[in-house]
Structure 1
Amino acid sequence: MCYKFLMCLKSGTKLFGSQSRCFSVYGTTFSGLNVDKRNLASAERKQRTFTDRSQLKYARRLVVKLGSAVITREDGNGLALGRLASIIEQVAECHHEGRECIMVTSGAVAFGRQKLTQELLMSLSMRETLSPSDHTREDAGSILDPRAAAAVGQSELMSMYDAMFSQYNVKIAQVLVTKPDFYNEETRKNLFCTLSELISLNIVPIVNTNDAVSPPMYIHDDTVVPGTGKKGIGIKDNDSLSALLAAEIQSDLLIMMSDVDGIYNKPPWEDGARMMHTYTSKERDQVQFGQKSKVGTGGMDSKVNAATWAMARGVSVVICNGMQEKAIKTIISGRKVGTFFTDYATNSSTSVDVLAENARTGSRVLQQLTPSERASAIHSLADLLINKQDQILEANNKDLEEATKNGVAKPLLNRLSLSQGKLKTLSIGLKQIADSSYENVGRVLRKTKLAENLMLRQVTVPIGVLLVIFESRPDSLPQVAALAMASANGLLLKGGKEAAYSNKALMGLVKESLQSVGAEDAISLVSTREEISDLLAMEKHIDLIIPRGSSDLVRSIQKQSQHIPVLCHAEGICHVYLDKDADVAKALKIVRDSKCDYPAACNAMETLLIHEDHMSGSLFNDICNMLKQEGVKIHAGPKLATQLTFGPPPARTMRHEYGALECCIEVVKDLDEAVHHIHQFGSSHTDVIVTENDGTARRFLSAVDSACVFHNVSSRFADGFRFGLGAEVGISTARIHARGPVGVEGLLTTKWILEGTDHTAAEFNEGKRSWLHEKLPVE
């Protein structure tokens, strides 16, 4: 008997491999290669499931179960080698990270059936037992005994695993088991002693049922395991086998890989099926199970039974789609992949899926309201910002105190800060939105009489459900909420944790204003631990993503969102061009405001272009002196640097958004060169010309291809409130579908409404009716 295993079995602790490195379990850090395993085990947490996906990165011991549908080709003949290679690569990565991995695999029968079928077909053909038209691969495969196929395929399967794992310098061992191995005290102890010793030797055990000798898999019962007093689980398939192994070796995480994305409340192909990203034993009655896999022995009912059994014994479980790329690594990173089983899942917050579904329903409620009802809800929110400002400012002070303790930079503190003045301005902007909401949803854009008694209208409708991700600025929340109300869109808001108290207080006011019109679920704040990457994958629920924040945030959202359109600007590289006919006083005033009013804003000037004629006059020196007095750090463009013996340090790049009291100055010879520079280095956000020459101004306004192009005004006017839109969800530098400050109109799309009597297309084809296509005035 293995002494090391018996000692652990007696003490109820868990063995770890000899390759132990520094790792952390629930805040306790352990390190060193030669830590005494029994002391380490006793220092660990008691066996319990992780409470949150974010904790899965701490999973030390993993059991990965590969179902038949994962490793078998779709046609059922042979193994999906490419998919299997990807899974093996992930297991090898986990192994080299110091995690202890055990694999439970299917595939022996499929592998053996493929080989035997080929040989049987050849034999049958040679003996001419069947005519060519009668004998097929399916006929040959159907007469094969699964036990014989398993006997042939098992050695082939292990040879393949050995070859694949050897590419990553990982040693493996085959462990074949049968049901009696778990219910015989002697063999059970030997089995787990072997697994323990293999792990300690840094070897990955690959476990499979010995299908060559196993009894039929329909035998299923729960039995008391001899010598333990524990109730076991019937070994009827690899689902139950993996659950029993995970529980007995005290695994942290069991990943059950199947051919479905996870657990649904009913078969996925049925109407109303909803993916359950988190599952607790209380939700068992909410699930309806469909048929079993076509290639495996266990259905979804079997998987849930096995998962809940393991979960009750302290093992966290994830059921996922093994065909998804990098599924294992994605799960361990904490991403919302598959269904996470835990009895410690928090029920205090509603899942994002439900919030998104509610937002869709709420959007339709808003759409059915009259314009005056939508306006009344926005007016109510505007009034609440003033009436409950003490409550808002108290919450905001908590955020400011936390941010100050954490050493947040002053510009970010300014963004985070709310004041009576800011709330008053917010309230005024919201009332502007309310007063303009009468001409938004349902507005007729086009009206055409197609034929007699056949009328076509194009009308505005909401986009659907918006996801707005914003950083720092809590004043964004009521602005975006009001725009969503006016456009009848459902809305999910994901704010930064630095404004958690403020956002919660403001969302309470939004809910209160919506409640007055029966649409309180139309807008919600995502306050769970969902990763942004998970939200970006909800293409079934979200129609448009709008990020508001740093250029890094915007670029990250654009990169990660593959299926949901993103409305945003990646950068705010705004230019001010001082033409040769610029007025000096106006130039100084406009440049100061463009750069210094709010340097962190996306519409702040980042590059100042100066006509070369001003280099011999006073304007250049006046501009530099003014900027220095304002504390602005100046960088010189390449051409300017060549003209100055002693001057500002050269800019590292001409395409840079400083977002602070810094800017670049460059010299251009004329208007055409200024426009070329803007197109080459700008971000199509906002660009300004300062000139007294109206002809030059018109050429600039026409030639510059940016969302906002100004003449003799500060770049800071690129703002929804200043444009009279009330507020904005952001400034778009895209060309589809909205551009510049995006107000209510940018959150609308259209639908076509056709009304007739008994018209059919065939009547027009046959000449019984005639087309008119008469454009009518829009009322």
Structure 2
Amino acid sequence: MGSTSSSRIVPMAENLRARAAAVRGAQRVIGSAPAEQRTAALRALRDVLLRSRGEISRANEEDLACAAEEGLSGPLLHRLGLSDAKFESLLEGVDALAEGEDPIDRVLTRTELDEGLVLECVRSPLGVLLIIFESRPDAVIQIGSLAIRSGNGVIMKGGREAARSNVVLVDCLRRALEVAGLDPRAVLGVPDRRDVDELLALDDLIDLVIPRGSGALVRSIQERSRIPVLGHAEGVCHLYVDASADPAMAVRLAVDGKCDYPAACNATETLLVHESFLPKLGSIGEALRERGVELRCDEPSRRLLPWAEAASEVDWGREFGDLTLAVRTMRSLEEAVDHIHTYGSSHTDAIVAEDRGVGERFLRAVDAASVFHNASTRFADGFRYGLGAEVGISTARIHARGPVGVEGLLTTRWLLRGEGQRAADYGPGKRAFTHRSLEL
């Protein structure tokens, strides 16, 4: 029995390594192809998606039916669905990327080291990305289109619950690459969960892992791989209602942040209220109550909202992911900032304040990937930022932070053009470098 098991595992590992190596080879071709060819692939992707709409819908309906039978939770079912609105958003994202400037080989700096010796720093693809995500099949197109525009290869492992949808959407990406004359092997879909550990060990072929899902998923991947991991563990987002807040605006932003899409990582999870605003808290509470939101309040805020549940310590810093919201009273802006830094996840935090000085202090003081003044936390999104789409949101401080679009999937390289110069000709008593900045 043992020999049968090991013989099954070894070929799988070899096959997966070969497929990942093929992604690497195809990526180098796409990354060095003319910009027009990558643009053509994106335009072809739009056409392929439209022609395949029926097939995509049928696959997604099957996924939804099976997930419902298995008792998948409401928020996850919502993420799993590919509604007409989501499909239109995908098309808009692909269009935005196709119409945007191709970023590869964009010159960032140009320096004359000496006469006839010019050094450029240019944008370059990262290489091969491994994306592991749960539930959301629309992520396949968001990720794939970003990979095409940024010249990266991509390996995608989606959730089992979206298996049928993912297969069809990966095929759409590969067909679009073929139409543009590019190697379709640059996009690989991996359906088997058992393959993940093998992939996480391929640090010589995969350059970056981006997990999209629960905090447990992100932490598990970080612990199991030597490959750099880009992502966020939780989306514990705060809305602080300052003493100077406009009550009507506070209602709008609290309702939007919590109710627009409660399962999203940029949904508001905690409402912080300045004690001077407490007499006006009732309108926010009632508006949320009408939308079916369960409030968990500290004692001062609960005196204004007696129907709410009493909050406990575990409610601060919790990503509910549903129509539940924690409410806590603050004595000052500084106390609110301290609370955010203690319990937040550095994802997105917002303030409602008519006092512009207070708003600016909040923007400067809060250490998060996205910080807003008088805007809903739900704006933390690559499409809404004008990035076309996002491959995920990062709360890391190295490489990329916040919604990760095309720019977050690029690195740099140096190009030096000379006329036969030797390094040995430079130094004390020899030729001197000019190090003159040149116009781009």
Quickly name the TM-score band, shorter chain normalised.
over 0.9
Residue 143 (structure 2) pairs with residue 480 (structure 1): yes
Kindly state the Cα deviation for residue 390 of structure 1 after the two structures are TM-superposed.
0.8
Note if contact 1:437-1:486 (Cα within 8 Å) is conserved in structure 2: no
Taking structure 1 as the reference length, the TM-score comes to 0.55
AA at the equivalent of 1:462? P
Note if contact 2:282-2:304 (Cα within 8 Å) is conserved in structure 1: no
Kindly state the Cα deviation for residue 766 of structure 1 after the two structures are TM-superposed.
5.0
Q: Distance in 2 between matches of 1:639 and 1:704?
A: 24
Partner residue, 1:502: 165
Kindly state the Cα deviation for residue 703 of structure 1 after the two structures are TM-superposed.
1.0
User: Aligned ranges for residues 270-281 of structure 1 at < 5 Å?
Assistant: none
SS in 2 for 1:731: strand
Partner residue, 1:634: 295
User: Aligned ranges for residues 196-211 of structure 1 at < 5 Å?
Assistant: none
Note if contact 2:125-2:150 (Cα within 8 Å) is conserved in structure 1: yes
AA at the equivalent of 1:513? A
SS in 1 for 2:286: helix
Partner residue, 1:253: 2
Note if contact 2:295-2:308 (Cα within 8 Å) is conserved in structure 1: no
- Partner of residue 431 from structure 2, selected from 757, 765, 769: 769
Kindly state the Cα deviation for residue 629 of structure 1 after the two structures are TM-superposed.
1.4
Residue 250 (structure 2) pairs with residue 587 (structure 1): yes
SS in 1 for 2:123: strand
Kindly state the Cα deviation for residue 638 of structure 1 after the two structures are TM-superposed.
6.8
Residue 175 (structure 2) pairs with residue 512 (structure 1): yes
- Partner of residue 47 from structure 2, selected from 380, 383, 388: 383
Partner residue, 1:620: 281
Kindly state the Cα deviation for residue 560 of structure 1 after the two structures are TM-superposed.
1.7
The gaps in structure 1 that reach 5 residues or longer are 1-251, 255-315, 320-333
SS in 1 for 2:309: coil
Residue 364 (structure 2) pairs with residue 707 (structure 1): no
Q: Distance in 2 between matches of 1:388 and 1:536?
A: 32
Partner residue, 2:312: 651
Residue 65 (structure 2) pairs with residue 401 (structure 1): yes
Q: Which has the larger radius of gyration?
A: 1
Partner residue, 1:530: 194
Q: Distance in 1 between matches of 2:339 and 2:229?
A: 27
Kindly state the Cα deviation for residue 757 of structure 1 after the two structures are TM-superposed.
1.5
Note if contact 2:285-2:305 (Cα within 8 Å) is conserved in structure 1: no
AA at the equivalent of 1:717? F
Q: Distance in 2 between matches of 1:639 and 1:537?
A: 52
Partner residue, 2:351: 689
Kindly state the Cα deviation for residue 421 of structure 1 after the two structures are TM-superposed.
2.4
- Residues 645 and 628 (structure 1 numbering): CA distance in 2 closer, same or farther, change over 3 Å? closer
AA at the equivalent of 1:365? V
- Partner of residue 554 from structure 1, selected from 218, 230, 252: 218
Identity %: 45
Residue 5 (structure 2) pairs with residue 374 (structure 1): no
Q: Distance in 1 between matches of 2:423 and 2:261?
A: 59
Note if contact 1:449-1:455 (Cα within 8 Å) is conserved in structure 2: yes
SS in 2 for 1:621: helix
The gaps in structure 2 that reach 5 residues or longer are none
- Residues 639 and 451 (structure 1 numbering): CA distance in 2 closer, same or farther, change over 3 Å? farther
Q: Distance in 2 between matches of 1:351 and 1:573?
A: 40
- Residues 428 and 437 (structure 1 numbering): CA distance in 2 closer, same or farther, change over 3 Å? same
Kindly state the Cα deviation for residue 768 of structure 1 after the two structures are TM-superposed.
3.0
- Residues 647 and 472 (structure 1 numbering): CA distance in 2 closer, same or farther, change over 3 Å? closer
Q: CA RMSD in A?
A: 2.0
Partner residue, 1:221: none
SS in 2 for 1:765: coil
SS in 2 for 1:391: helix
Note if contact 2:210-2:229 (Cα within 8 Å) is conserved in structure 1: yes
Q: Distance in 1 between matches of 2:312 and 2:286?
A: 19
Note if contact 1:389-1:420 (Cα within 8 Å) is conserved in structure 2: no
Partner residue, 1:360: 24
Partner residue, 1:757: 419
Kindly state the Cα deviation for residue 639 of structure 1 after the two structures are TM-superposed.
6.3
Note if contact 2:394-2:401 (Cα within 8 Å) is conserved in structure 1: yes
After superposition, give the CA deviation of every residue in 1:706-765 in whole Å (9 maximum; x if it has no partner). Answer: 110111111000000001111000010001100000000000000111121122222112
Q: Distance in 2 between matches of 1:741 and 1:317?
A: 42
Note if contact 1:374-1:437 (Cα within 8 Å) is conserved in structure 2: no
Residue 109 (structure 2) pairs with residue 446 (structure 1): yes
Note if contact 1:641-1:650 (Cα within 8 Å) is conserved in structure 2: no
- Partner of residue 412 from structure 1, selected from 76, 95, 114: 76
- Partner of residue 464 from structure 1, selected from 123, 127, 146: 127
The runs of at least 4 aligned residues of structure 1 exceeding 4 Å deviation read: 638-647
- Residues 432 and 643 (structure 1 numbering): CA distance in 2 closer, same or farther, change over 3 Å? closer
Residue 360 (structure 2) pairs with residue 611 (structure 1): no
- Partner of residue 575 from structure 1, selected from 238, 254, 268: 238
Task: Give the helix-richer structure, 1 or 2.
Answer: 2
Residue 206 (structure 2) pairs with residue 542 (structure 1): yes
AA at the equivalent of 2:348? T
Note if contact 1:383-1:427 (Cα within 8 Å) is conserved in structure 2: no
Partner residue, 1:661: 323
Q: Distance in 2 between matches of 1:664 and 1:739?
A: 26
Number of residue pairs aligned between Structure 1 and Structure 2: 438
AA at the equivalent of 2:85? G
After superposition, give the CA deviation of every residue in 1:442-485 in whole Å (9 maximum; x if it has no partner). Answer: 11111111111111100111111000001100000011000000
AA at the equivalent of 1:770? A
